[in-house]
Structure 1
Amino acid sequence: MHLVFADNTDDFYQKSAERIAEVIRKKPSAKIGLSTGRTTKGVHAALAEEWRRNPFDCSGIKVFGIDEITNMSRECRASCYYILLHEVVEPLAVPMENYIMPDPMAADLQEECLRFEEAVMADGGPDFIFLGLGENGHLGFNQPGTNFGQTAWLSWMDDSLNERLRRENDIPENVVMGGLTLGIKNLMQCPRLVMAANGRNKKEVAEKMIMGPVTEALPASVLQLHPGCEVILDPDAAGALHESLKRE
């Protein structure tokens, strides 16, 4: 695990976006996995701006989201499909046929997990995956307690996210939302991973992920075992890590 400490918020977003752009420039046919959330919104905006300033060819890349919310229409602004479509796929002119996402409304969601995993892992699998750090240490929708050997599956959604999504998107209580997600094993099979964390609310979990034991109680801690993982932290998420690591 290689640590990168950003100077400020703008530098955090720029450094993160540069990692994605670098992969595309080096391999125009790359298969790239992306995350959605409060952290990645700024990263995607910086990536789109980098593409506008210094255009690079995205016509041959394949883009996929690492997870999706089940029983949520793709037209809903909170769906991972909608977010990546409007934040990355359209701004970078990625062909729609190269956009890989699971169907959150599939009649058989277990079967959809297998179909999605096969599409992502086909032709050698992904070249690069960009991850955001969940406040409870989750990776995708792999919540605390998920087996490190887990492949694509239907996970659950933590209560705080469930409540926020319903409140912000007027989702009725009778709609059961969950997470269709690549498993931790799928993520760890990717040769290069970047994990990004920003904000004071990520300080404690970031320290545990980096300095604590590798445990299924904190899924992100498994990244300590990945030889090609880079972690980018803004000053608020880094806390005292930068100085303490320099003293060791």
Structure 2
Amino acid sequence: MKIIVTDSSDQAFTRAADMIADEIRSTPTPVLGLATGRTMESIYRLLVQQHEAGTLDFSGTTSFNLDEYVGLPPTDPNSYNHYMREHLFAHVNMPAGRAHVPDGVAADLDAECARYEAAIRASGGIGLQLLGIGETGHIGFNEPPSAFDSRTRVVPLDDVTRRQNSGMFGNDPERVPERALTMGVGTILEARQLLLVAVGDGKAAIINDALNGPISADVSATAIRFHDNVTVILDRDAASIWAQKRG
């Protein structure tokens, strides 16, 4: 595992965006696993800037998002489909048919999960999977406990996660959907490369748990320690407890 600690969050975002851009440039048909959240907004903004500058071509890229809320159609401003269009897809030349987000309003959610897994396999598998980390230690929406061999499925969202995500729902956790579709931990671990990014002192404790704590289904992010090609990019605030325990 490669752990990069930067002096600022902006430097962390730049390092992450450059890694993703390198994957796109160096791979004939790149397949990206994408994530959402405030951290990702900054990374996507930098990728859009590279595209607009003419230095990054998305035309051969395929993407699969980690998750989506159950019950929110793609047109809902709080859906992750809408988020991805707003922050990335509408600003780059990735063909629409190659930008995949789980369908949170599918008539048969279990069938949608199976379809999503099949689509990932049909693409040749994810080359680089971008990850954030939630307060429960989840990657994707793999809330505790999540088996390390879990696949794309419907999950109930932890109250902690609903509170954490309530900012997009008028700061009312009750308005946050109770369920989501998420890639499983096993699905995530099949990506050829993992890139986890976290910034801010609010992530320091859970980053330390993920990197130093017991490997456990109760903190799904600890599963990345089983992967042989992982990069973790942190700013100094997010790395503070990990660095203290390490040193």
Deviations 1:18-67 (A, max 9, x none): 11101001014111010001221111112212323352221111012111
Q: Write out aligned runs for 1:1-248 (5 A).
A: 1-162=1-162, 164=166, 167-168=169-170, 177-242=178-243, 245=246, 247=247
The CA deviation at 1:177 is 3.6
Between the aligned partners of 1:160 and 1:142, the Cα distance in structure 2 is 13
Between the aligned partners of 1:186 and 1:71, the Cα distance in structure 2 is 23
Using structure 2 for the length normalisation, give the TM-score. Answer: 0.92
What code does the residue aligned with 2:53 have? R
The CA deviation at 1:75 is 1.3
Give the secondary-structure state (helix, strand or coil) at the position aligned to 1:21: helix
The CA deviation at 1:69 is 0.6
The CA deviation at 1:240 is 4.6
Give the secondary-structure state (helix, strand or coil) at the position aligned to 1:124: coil
What code does the residue aligned with 1:118 have? A
Between the aligned partners of 1:87 and 1:28, the Cα distance in structure 2 is 24
The CA deviation at 1:243 is 6.1
Contact 2:34 2:64 in 1 (8 A): yes
Between the aligned partners of 2:187 and 2:52, the Cα distance in structure 1 is 32
Give the secondary-structure state (helix, strand or coil) at the position aligned to 1:187: helix
Structure 1: any 5+ residue segments left out of the alignment?
none
Give the secondary-structure state (helix, strand or coil) at the position aligned to 1:239: helix
Structure 2: any 5+ residue segments left out of the alignment?
none
% same residue:
29
Between the aligned partners of 1:56 and 1:50, the Cα distance in structure 2 is 6
Name whichever of 157-166 and 105-114 sits farther off.
157-166
Give the secondary-structure state (helix, strand or coil) at the position aligned to 1:90: helix
The CA deviation at 1:181 is 0.8
The CA deviation at 1:121 is 2.0
* Change in 2 beyond 3 A, CA 1:97/1:171: farther
Between the aligned partners of 1:64 and 1:128, the Cα distance in structure 2 is 10
Query: C-alpha root-mean-square deviation of aligned residues, in Å?
Result: 2.1
* Change in 2 beyond 3 A, CA 1:152/1:66: same
Using structure 1 for the length normalisation, give the TM-score. Answer: 0.92
* Change in 2 beyond 3 A, CA 1:93/1:55: same
What code does the residue aligned with 1:141 have? F
Between the aligned partners of 1:38 and 1:171, the Cα distance in structure 2 is 17
Between the aligned partners of 2:147 and 2:30, the Cα distance in structure 1 is 28
* Change in 2 beyond 3 A, CA 1:223/1:171: closer
* Change in 2 beyond 3 A, CA 1:216/1:172: closer
The CA deviation at 1:176 is 5.3
What code does the residue aligned with 2:6 have? A
Contact 2:162 2:173 in 1 (8 A): no
